[in-house]
Structure 1
Amino acid sequence: MSIIIQNAKEADLPQLLAIYAPYVEKTAISFEYQVPNLQKFSQRWQSISQTYPYLIAKQDDQILGYAYASPFHQREAYQWLAEVTIYLDSYAQGQGTGRLLYQHLETCLKAQGILTILACIATTEHPDDYLTNKSLNFHKHLGFKEIGHFKNSGYKFEHWYDMKWLEKDLAKKNDQPQPIKKFRESKLFRDYEQD
């Protein structure tokens, strides 16, 4: 059965949190130390989805992963940039689900007027049990370019890890960009609503 991309709903959040938890507990992909409780996770979702897309990939009613955008910075002059994030269930990795989610996310962000997307990626010079560079390679494969490298910026599992910023332009910048729109207010939002 084909993969369906939809807006995340509150009822989906326990499954999304279950996908996210291993990234906190077993990897340095997330720099969080503790898995947030469902209430805190829900607050994050509510805050982000007021303005930006928060998408899930489903197959046979099973959520395979999710991707969303959030503001790069709160200052108005940064509104045409958005930070993107993706998490996949372990069994859904390497099957094209991440690419599909990002393709849909980029379409939604373009409709909002977002011009550039950024990804903040944990990296390591020496891969270990907690971090490989698969996420970095995945983003580069999708056309992201490395623009910043912060050495030894995150400490987790008794190791220091680097952080890299990657960038991808979605559209050309001009001298009079229109203010971005909230995704919820776009026609495209309804296309991603669940039945």
Structure 2
Amino acid sequence: MTDDATTVRDATEADLEAMAAIYDEQVRTSVATFDTEPRGLVYLGDKLAHAGGSDIVLVAVRAGEVLGYAFSGPFRPRPAYDGTKEVSVYLGAGARGLGLGSLLYGALLARLDDLTEVHTQVAVIALPNDASIALHRRHGFTEVGVLREVGRKFDRWVDTAWYQRRVG
């Protein structure tokens, strides 16, 4: 999938360093992840190593630069949850607000929709985050609940909203 200048494709090992830089910047500066110490290369390397089937890792690339990535992975480790995937998207600081999150999610969700074994996707959004809420709603997610003060980062308690999207 592409816009005029951006390509969305499966991530490769060559993308891991750029992906890790994006993730680790989010660790240091935001509540988009509840990790408190950078660990991007190990974390994302593991995701890439387990990619296949309904576990998908995509990157958005423009002029050879990885601008962001999206992935689907297991929701919970028990077999009854196999038809449910947790999805996330992360963008580099200079790539936010340009529609790349929507481009990535569109590609990821289209792939998941084509898989008969995937019935539901879930996403967790640390609050407040109007941009992420709008992105998820635009792609058919609905809010199914809020967990109050479940994470603590930057010396404050953070709520998380849970969003769900069912195929069909």
Whether TM-score is above 0.5 comes out as yes
Q: 1:159 aligns with which of 150, 156, 161?
A: 156
Q: Aligned residue for 2:105?
A: 102
Q: Give 2:147's aligned residue.
A: 150
C-alpha offsets along residues 131-172 of structure 1, whole Å, 9 cap, x if unaligned?
x4322232123321100210000001110000111011222x
Contact 1:123-1:136 within 8 A present in 2 as well:
no
Identity of aligned residues (%): 31
Structure 1 segments of 4+ aligned residues over 4 angstroms from their partners:
none
SS at match of 2:101: helix
> Is contact 1:83-1:117 (8 Å) kept?
yes
- State whether structure 2 residue 122 is matched by structure 1 residue 122: no
Distance 1:41 1:92 in 2: 19
CA RMSD across the alignment:
1.5
Q: What do the CA deviations read for 1:88-119 (whole angstroms, capped 9, x no partner)? A: 11211111111111111011112222121110
Q: Which one has the largest radius of gyration?
A: 1
Structure 1, unaligned runs of 5 or more: 125-131, 172-195
Q: How many residues matched?
A: 163
- Give how far 1:37 is off: 5.5
Task: Give me the TM-score of the superposition, normalised by structure 2.
Answer: 0.90
Please identify, of 110-119 and 95-104, the stretch whose mean Cα deviation from structure 2 is larger: 110-119
| Equivalent-residue separation in structure 1 for 2:40 and 2:32 (angstroms) | 19
| CA contact 2:19–2:44 (8 Å) conserved in 1 | no
